Structure 1
Amino acid sequence: MRSEKRFGRVIVIGGSMAGLLGARVLSDHFEQVIILERDPEPNGPEARKGVPQGRHAHGLLDAGLHVLETLFPGLMREMYSEGAERMDMGRDAAWYTAGSWKTRYISGIELILCTRTWLEWKVRGRVAALPQVELRSSCAVEGLITDPAHTRVMGVRFKTPEGEETLMADLVVDAGGRGSRAASWLEALGYGKPEEEEIRLRLAYTSRFFEPPPNYRGDWKMMAMFPRAPEQSRGGFIARVEGGRWLVTLHGYFGDDPPRDDKGFLEFARSLPQPDIYEAIRDAKPLTEAVVHKIPSSRMLHYERMENFPEAFVLLGDSVCALNPVYGQGMTVCSLSAQLLGQTLVEHKRASPGTMQGLSRRFQRKLSQLLSIPWMMGTTMDLKYPQAQGQRFPGLGLLHWAFGTLIDLTSVSTLACRQFYEVMHMRRGMAALLRPDLLAAFAAYGLKSLFVPLPRRANVDTLPRAPA
């Protein structure tokens, strides 16, 4: 049942996944939701300038999938019927990470395999059909409008092809992504700058579509290969997506960029830690040219720590936390963040009915707590590279050992793999790794790791078969 609508208008800056999901949730609480998107209106599930990563491999983890199914009942069923692949993470994923293959078993953790552009197009259609929502394209937001005392945000200034406009609202939500200018807007208004954490990685990834070779008989729906830091810096990913195609993404860190040409692309795939991706695509037919995207860093802005912060303004998505895309957390974090915004609005209306006072800080603090686990998991792995530039805290080496040992254990222990997936897919918190039976297995394996080389205690070479 939807909450009673007590507020008037909300403006959402950005019409990508974070903005669309935010708008869907906000439609339960506002009479009018206006999305201001910089890009022109798309004609279909096509790549947009504002989402340069849209043509590359994306993942929607189990927790994000369940949020989307809650917000848009029947969406997953519709997409499966039109060609998206349904997969079980434990059974259908062939996953080599940090030097070993994970065990394969029936996990009950579901993923949908499809292109980011198609999923966003489907979500956009559902959101645009809501009577409360107006989606305006070719609108570039230039700044915030505040009250004379700069205590609250009251609207935005934006440009359209016809000229400059202003729009007032009860709440402004920044979902503008990595390109968000909110930090500079707030500084110019006298609020100061948010603290920033950044891990510089110089990540590049190159993607293209292939037609699978007719004689290929792999028993996976997705294959992922992550390097073992710090010795390796190259990885790759294949997923079956709509249209019976393979979407193949290769990535490299610190200037080790995957080439775009046919020969270079294949040679890069051949150089990966295991030969399986190369063997899958060497006889596959390329369907598109390769495209490249570069990410200089992972970044988190701590708006929740600012001493001064305006009322009636919240941020979510990559505007706050832009994660390393290799780990496939981004769309799921956006989904959970939008869900959290809805939950926070419900709580806020009970505590402070009819007013926005206090909502901004309440949400940004809750969002920071939500982001802490995916941020910690990704950056802990990335900081194993000595080339990675970022703040290293005391005890990081011990955390690297513990996390690496757990990942090695997942190659020979279904229990460890199951609990790791529970955390990775954001179904459960870090407490899932503190089960007594897992702790006992981890302690025994950790002791073993001090005396037994990795190839003798982990599955480093053999791609496991899917269970029947």
Structure 2
Amino acid sequence: MRFDRAVIIGGSMAGLLGARVLADYFQEVIVLERDEACEGPEARKGVPQGRHAHGLLDAGLQVIDKLFPGLVQQMYAEGAERMDMGRDAAWCTAGSWKPRYVSGIELILCTRMWLEWKVRGRVAMLPQVKLRQGCSVEALLTDDTGTRVTGVKVRTAEGEETLPADLVVDTGGRGSRAPGWLEALGYGKPEEEKVGLQLAYTSQFFEPSPRYQGDWKMMAVFPRAPEERKGGFIARVEGGRWLVTLHGYFGGYPPTTDEGFLEFARTLPKPDIYEAIREAKPLGEAVIHKVPSSRLLHYERMERFPEGFVVFGDAVCALNPVYGQGMTVCCLSAKLLGEVVAAQVRSTPGSVQGLSRRFQRKLAKLISVPWMMGTTMDLKFPEAQGQRFMGLGLLHWGFGTLLDFTSVSTLACRQFYEVMHMRRGMEALLRPDMLAAFALYGLKSLFVPFPRRANVHTLPRAPA
């Protein structure tokens, strides 16, 4: 049995993936996007981070592949890079390079704009889905009791209209108006967690120099907090280009001029990104994007929450983009929404009673690990603004020691990548052999300085 109509606020990756899963359970799914339609993989005002490097982790790639059969292979055929996380990534975290080995963890390297364009094309082909551009959602509609959302009020160039719906999904990103709407309806605002980062990242495309020889498909250099504040990322993407993103915290921002961009790369903790791009040809202008904070809204903790309304994506949890978790969290959130709706259809056909609460609570559990990992690392910076709890210093020591350990132990690196790519939860780090080896390394770390414990200097080579 199908529901009648779902309305989705926001037509970026979260909204498109939400439309795909809801098309299996609704007669009609309408996606409302504020921006006008794009003719191709172009930057949009509503996605200011779209021109910068993005990561689609293994778990997210698996969701895309299942929701859109054949799309991933098509993108590989058209120029996206297939890479193995262990073999093809030169990855420096917290001051040390990770080992190179065949991991079986797959990533696709392409631009965010191209991936979103491809996904939008597949979603637009679904007969149940209607994509409407140039639409601004002004308010939620409710029943007479105010306990159930029944649709939305929409403003277009032609005027205002109302759209009734069995389910309204807000994927409106950081600019979501859901907190204000809920407060206006008498529900109050969700509790908010925030970690102030004062982060900015600048990105530019390059044509690689034929003289440069590198055995990686992606290279990342992350700062060792709190001493270092700069990092960078370089990846091969469609069109034979490199997409290079440099980032800095707390005012140390990467310039957008060619000379300034290159000089900033030269000052990174490792010289390897600079060495790669110093003879490469810039393609177009560099662009900068600033992110003042990471943010998590606890809709699941609200005393009251309306039926027929759910929120996910950056509208709930906007993570530090440096760690590349955002799109994968969106993929897994959309998958979760499909699972919750499927269970609802089986248990109470024709009714959405209880669905909203159930989804927001399950979503909170899904988000908890990437949020904890990212904010724990960010709060090592003394300038980072956020709630610091008892025992955070011990957690910083443990997590920092673990990152160091992943540079000298392939076992630790394998398990860390499993968690990082959201293939497994934190239990992956609790294997008996892993715990025993980590305990010995942690004891050693109390007496041996970091530079003597890890492969700090030399970029490791890929396995033959």
With normalisation by structure 2, the TM-score equals: 0.99
| Cα deviation code 1:147-174 (max 9, x no counterpart) | 1211000011111111111111000000
> How many Å apart are 1:201 and its aligned residue?
0.2
Query: Aligned equivalents of 1:137 and 1:62: distance in 2?
Result: 31
Partner of 1:356: 352
1:116-195 map, 5 Å: 116-195=112-191
SS in 2 for 1:107: coil
Unaligned runs of 5+ in 2: none
1:58-457 map, 5 Å: 58-457=54-453
Query: Aligned equivalents of 2:346 and 2:382: distance in 1?
Result: 49
SS in 2 for 1:166: strand
Partner of 2:26: 30
Query: Aligned equivalents of 1:138 and 1:325: distance in 2?
Result: 27
| Cα deviation code 1:420-439 (max 9, x no counterpart) | 00000000000000001110
SS in 1 for 2:50: helix
| Cα deviation code 1:221-278 (max 9, x no counterpart) | 0000100000001000000000000000000011111001111111100000010000
SS in 1 for 2:5: strand
The residue type equivalent to 1:135 in the other structure is L
The residue type equivalent to 2:174 in the other structure is R
Runs of 4+ in 1 over 3 A off after TM superposition: none
| Number of residue-to-residue matches in the alignment | 464
The residue type equivalent to 2:451 in the other structure is P
Query: Aligned equivalents of 1:261 and 1:44: distance in 2?
Result: 27
Unaligned runs of 5+ in 1: none
Of 11-20 and 452-461, deviating more is 452-461
SS in 1 for 2:462: coil
Query: Aligned equivalents of 1:377 and 1:18: distance in 2?
Result: 22
Query: Aligned equivalents of 1:183 and 1:318: distance in 2?
Result: 13
Query: Aligned equivalents of 1:135 and 1:242: distance in 2?
Result: 26
Query: Aligned equivalents of 1:365 and 1:352: distance in 2?
Result: 19
Aligned counterpart for 1:47 among listed residues 39, 43, 47: 43
Query: Aligned equivalents of 1:377 and 1:343: distance in 2?
Result: 25
Query: Aligned equivalents of 1:156 and 1:181: distance in 2?
Result: 12
Of 104-113 and 348-357, deviating more is 348-357
SS in 2 for 1:287: strand
Query: Aligned equivalents of 1:413 and 1:434: distance in 2?
Result: 15
Query: Aligned equivalents of 2:200 and 2:451: distance in 1?
Result: 29
SS in 2 for 1:304: helix
> How many Å apart are 1:393 and its aligned residue?
1.2
Query: Aligned equivalents of 2:349 and 2:250: distance in 1?
Result: 51
With normalisation by structure 1, the TM-score equals: 0.99
SS in 1 for 2:262: helix
The residue type equivalent to 1:120 in the other structure is E
RMSD: 0.6
Aligned counterpart for 1:18 among listed residues 14, 18, 27: 14
Query: Aligned equivalents of 1:433 and 1:69: distance in 2?
Result: 27
SS in 2 for 1:53: coil
Query: Aligned equivalents of 2:346 and 2:301: distance in 1?
Result: 25
> How many Å apart are 1:350 and its aligned residue?
2.0
SS in 2 for 1:288: strand
> How many Å apart are 1:288 and its aligned residue?
1.2
| Cα deviation code 1:433-459 (max 9, x no counterpart) | 000111011001101100001111111
